[in-house]
Amino acid sequence: MHERIIVGAGCFWGVEEAFRAITGIIQTQAGYAGGWVEHPSYEDVCAGTTGHAEVVQLQFDPTIISLATLLNHFWAMLEPPLDSDPQYRPLIICSTAAQLELALASKLAQPRLADLRIEILIDLPFYPAEEYHQQCYSKWRMRFERRAKAV
């Protein structure tokens, strides 16, 4: 049985690509969560009128990768000082009370992040981002590599 958790750690393009590379991640999806507007658009989120952050919904197989290991990857992505833009704020949205308990305990075990505001919530709506935001690095990797070679 697969589990689901939502994480935000900056621009969803990089976060999604980093998690896609981890064995045990079954599916990723870039999107928006943590705000008050239903079905926001990228433009709305960028304008700061929705309260949403850019996030990635992760489907993972807990028999291959534990939630504790996934959370360790998440904590490693956060580099103080964090971007102050609310759109890029760090957050974890858990699907179950057990996930919430583990995420809260895991944060306490991160002394370098003790002074940072990191939201850890449960069962909030997730709104998928527009298709052009899904797996951007995979879609555009060849374009980026061609440009890098041309320089």
Residues 76/14, Cβ–Cβ less than 8 Å:
no
Q: Which of 11, 46, 94, 136 is labelled catalytic?
A: 11
CA-wise closest residue to 138 among 20, 9, 10: 20
Instruction: Calculate the dihedral angle through the C-alpha atoms of 53, 4, 29, 72, rounding to the nearest 10 degrees.
Output: 70
User: Does the annotation count 46 as an active-site position?
Assistant: no
User: Which residues form the catalytic set?
Assistant: 11
